[in-house]
Amino acid sequence: MLHWGPVANVLLNTKQQEAVLHTEGPLLILAGAGAGKTKTITERIVEIVKKGTDPRNILAVTFTNKAAKEMRERIVSRLEEERIIEKENPFHHTPVIKTFHSLGLMMLSEYGSRLGLQRHPTILDSSDSLSIIKQAIEQLGIDPKINDPSKIRSIISREKGDFVSQQDYKQKVATAQMDIISSVWRIYEEELKKQKAVDFDDLIVSTVHMLEDHADIRNHYQQRFMYVHVDEYQDTNAAQYAFVKLLINPLYNNVCAVGDTDQNIYSWRGANVRNILNFEKDFPGTHTVLLEENYRSTGNILALANKAIKKNTVRTDKNLFTSKGLGDKITIMPAWDEQGESEMIAEKCKALISDGVGGETIAVLYRANFQSRVLEEAFIRANVTYNLLGTKFFERKEVKDVMSYLRAAVNRACQPDLKRVFDTPKRGIGKVTVAKIFAGAPIPASAMVKIEKVYDFLDQIMEAVETEPLSHVMQMIIVDSGMEKEMLEGSGEDRERLENARELVSLTVRYDGVHAKEILTQFLEETSLQSDQDNDTKEKSGVRLMTVHASKGLEFDHVFVTGLEQDLFPHKNIGNRKRSKEEEEEERRLFYVAVTRARKNLYLTYAELRTIFGQKQINAPSEFLEDVPEDTGDYNDLYYKQGGGSVVYI
């Protein structure tokens, strides 16, 4: 039930008002998707100011600059409406609204001298950090061509986010690789100290250590920030969690955490859903408010969201509802294969736009990045403007790397392609050696052996081009070059990159039946033209194509959730490692996030046949489709595109 809230002209429901008026002591707001959490935080802060608190004594922390900016604008606008601050006065005081990193920077600027930092500490960007790590590798006499500096930097960053110090990491060293990382990390930290600098991760980690070690600084901020609000609490990692706890004055425990256990989808970044589940233990006497009224989606969409997420066990139970009515039924759209699925989606989007729907109100979501390739092709063929959030398929590094092998095999004079080939995977051929190759300068015998191996492999590619289908050639490049092995042994992001590289094999299956030699020039021309066409699709009115992860926090009138097949969504671990219970629950949370992006219409699509790494696979429909309540879904007939281009429904 809606009614006028405690502040003039603001409509709040009963639960929102309960959260706004509960200003003293710990408060946990469990806000379902589309339940108006930003509005609730805004009104709660306005209410605290109206009760006489100096705005400067109120802190709100969130994750992104965009979220902080939106919250700041809303709060300032409401304070102006209430005439608490004057719009014309540039010196008015407002609440402190920061990201975790910007808050850490503010504190280090004020008290970082205690850590040996300057008044305004130098912050190293990623390239600066990488440069120091390269120097450390050189100092240790380690081969940077085998021990990738960028990977070492990523591992150090992840460990810092988990609040692991170099000394902690050293204690758990179990492999030669970990020993190398520990040694590089030690030199890296020594260099940061020498330069009186911090990296991006240190903005949080160093601030936490400062608050832990200096009671007077901790007391200062606990007195200064009498009220602390933390948005997206389910996404906090170990370091951010420790940061929040140190900010809270234990005498008052005036902390408000806002989040949703069902939208924790970033465990691979270190986010720990247990942080929000343990909030009531961390802050005894917590008052918990469930925001379950959804203002975004229709009843049918919410029925699916509720049914799907209830199968998870690591969550706080809640049930989204809406006063919007049931709305249109959910449309389930099966297709024969991925080409048919993408064409079906593109044609449906074209029809919606012809009916007056704005392209920017349509989103096409997919679980894995490699799925974007066939979708981009379909939208280009259908002449439907699209915007891809993230890197376009043919602009991805791993895709360029594979294509470079093919082009270098055909044309040994192309230096950019040869540079990529020599560098991917790492095989101990450095930039100086590559420069000597192109300059025709003398090359040491040890390096020449490695170079000859590369040239021999390019010869093998050309021999395969003479006799094998193009998809076999692409598969050979990925496997025999060593790229597959390197990515399989890397991080989760590396394994995702391998999926993108493998999609090139699936792309070339269409040419099977014709020897690669006969089709090679056409293929290289088509892929180059595709990249050029991609650059013409940046109008803001276009349909949005993005991963489910990238869609979090966004909403659209019409949403397509694609590739709903078992082992694609929910996603199968590459390398066939069985998913853990935690990973299974995160996949279901991802589906919940995807479904709740939709305001009016939800389309669930899947292909009965999909080409993965050049092999056609028959797929079982996703287990998530079983969660569609019987009375909320409409099943379309199977969409099948015949070889000649005509379309029939079966």
Which residues are the active-site residues?
37-38, 231-232, 263, 597
Do the beta carbons of residue 475 and residue 516 sit within 8 Å?
no
Q: Coil, strand, or helix at residue 432?
A: helix
H helices within 490-632, ranges in order?
492-508, 516-534, 548-551, 581-595
DSSP secondary structure letter of residue 482: S
C-alpha 268/C-alpha 272 separation (Å) is: 9
Do the beta carbons of residue 546 and residue 346 sit within 8 Å?
no
Q: What is the 3-state secondary structure (H, E, C) of 184-239?
A: HHHHHHHHHHHHCEEECCHHHHHHHHHHHHCHHHHHHHHHHCCEEEECCHHHCCHH
C-alpha 609/C-alpha 335 separation (Å) is: 8
Reduced DSSP (H G I as helix, E B as strand, rest coil) percent helix, strand, coil of the chain, to 5: 55, 15, 30
HSE-up of 412 (CA within 13 Å, CB side)?
12
Following CA atoms 526, 527, 532, 536 in sequence, which dihedral angle do they give, to the nearest 10 degrees? 90
State how far Cα 562 lies from the chain centre. 17
Do the beta carbons of residue 368 and residue 594 sit within 8 Å?
no
C-alpha 568/C-alpha 439 separation (Å) is: 47
Do the beta carbons of residue 229 and residue 26 sit within 8 Å?
no
The 10 Å CB-count burial string (b at 16+, else e) for 231-266 is: bbbbbbbbbbbbbbebbbbeeebbbbbbbbbbbbbb
C-alpha 129/C-alpha 76 separation (Å) is: 37
C-alpha 438/C-alpha 337 separation (Å) is: 45
β 227-230/255-259 pair status: parallel
Facing residues of 618 across strands? 609
β 543-547/362-366 pair status: parallel
Of 236, 294, 308, the C-alpha closest to 267 is 236
Do the beta carbons of residue 283 and residue 562 sit within 8 Å?
no
